[in-house]
């Protein structure tokens, strides 16, 4: 499926908001493709990884999905969030350039980018409480389901859901309000 199908995106998001995980995953993958294109076109200077902007936008979409009007179009909403996060990324990098230099060097040293620690969002895991971190890591990095995570950590499903949600809120807060 191609992401620029407005109607299909709206259908996926509507189903997702009703609680359908699979539709939500599909929606987020389409959104990621769209935002990736947008970020790559707009990030021309160094110091910002377009993929970080993609991830921060996905997190913002998730936290603010209730701000979409179900009878309204998806694309302008998605675009406004991506734009907001891109501007935010520029602003944040502008403020702490000296830290950023170290991080660029680190990325150069490790051309294989997809490990837990070298994405902005991965780094934000460090700010979580130990309980939240183990749940978020079990679901994200190890790819466990909620049920598997609950079994592995000896927690109830509800507790896993709550810890996951709070962990994501904490990560989003780190990006939104620094």
Partner 1 sequence: MDTNELIETLAADTRQPTAPLSFVWWGAAGLAIALAAVIFFATLGPRPDVAAAAETPRFLLKFVVTTTLGASAFGLARGLSRPGEDWRAAAPYLAGAAALLAIAAFVELLLLPHGAWSAKLVGMNSMVCLAYIPLIGIGPLAIFLLALRHGAPTRPALAGAAAGLLAGSIAATFYAAHCTDDSPLFVATWYTIAIAGLAVLGAAGASRFARW
d(CA 68, CA 16): 12
Smallest distance, partner 1 to C-beta of residue 7, A = 17
Give the binding site for partner 1 (CB under 8 A).
16, 19-22, 24-25, 28-29, 32, 51, 54-55, 58-60, 62-69, 72-73, 76-81, 83-84, 113-114, 116, 119, 121-122, 125, 136, 139-141, 143, 145-146, 161-162, 164-165, 168, 172, 176-177
Return d(Cα 77, Cα 57) in angstroms, integer.
12
- Residue among 60 and 98 whose Cβ is closer to partner 1: 60
Q: Which is nearer to partner 1, 89 or 136 (CB)?
A: 136
Helix (H, G, I), strand (E, B) or coil at 158: helix
| Least distance between partner 1 and beta carbon 19 (Å) | 6
Residue 62 Cβ, how far from partner 1 at the closest point, in Å? 4
Pick 98 or 138: Cβ nearer partner 1: 138
Per the CB < 8 A criterion, the answer to whether 74 and 6 are in contact is: yes
Nearest to 62 by CA among 17, 20, 3: 17
Q: Using CA atoms, how far apart are residues 52 and 49, in angstroms rounded to an integer? A: 5
Query: CB of 100 within 8 A of CB of 35?
Result: no
Nearer residue to partner 1 within complex by CB, 62 or 93: 62
Written as six digits, the tokens of 7 are 């109607």
């Amino acid at each position: 499926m191609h992401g620029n199908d407005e109607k299909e995106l709206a259908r996926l998001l509507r189903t997702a908001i009703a609680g359908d995980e699979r539709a939500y995953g599909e929606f987020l993958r389409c959104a990621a493709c769209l935002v990736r294109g947008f970020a790559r076109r707009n990030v021309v200077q160094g110091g910002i990884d377009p993929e970080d902007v993609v991830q921060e936008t996905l997190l913002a979409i998730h936290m603010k999905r209730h701000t979409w009007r179900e009878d309204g179009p998806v694309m302008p909403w998605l675009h406004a969030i991506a734009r907001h996060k891109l501007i935010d990324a520029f602003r944040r990098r502008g403020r702490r350039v000296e830290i950023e230099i170290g991080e660029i060097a680190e990325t150069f040293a490790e051309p294989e980018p997809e490990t837990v620690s070298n994405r902005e969002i991965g780094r934000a895991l460090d700010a979580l409480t130990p309980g939240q971190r183990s749940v978020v890591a079990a679901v994200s990095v190890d790819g466990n389901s909620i049920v598997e995570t609950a079994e592995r950590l000896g927690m109830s499903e509800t507790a896993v859901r709550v810890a996951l949600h709070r962990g994501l809120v904490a990560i989003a807060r780190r990006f939104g309000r620094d």
